Amino acid sequence: MNAWKTDITEFQARRIGKTLEELGELSAVLARITIQGLDAIDPSSGKTNRQRMSDETADVIAQIGCNMDAFAMPIEEIDTRAAMKEAQMEEWEQLLREK
Percent above pLDDT 90 for the chain: 85
Q: Residue 90: helix, strand or coil by DSSP? A: helix
* More confident of the two residues 43 and 76: 76
| pLDDT of 58 | 98
Question: pLDDT tens for residues 31-52?
Answer: 999 999 999 998 888 999 999 9
Q: Please, which residues bridge with residue 71 across strands?
A: none
Judge contact between 49 and 33, C-beta under 8 A.
yes
Name the nearest CA neighbour of 52 among 72, 36, 76, 66.
Answer: 36
- Dihedral sign (CA 19, 61, 73, 78): positive
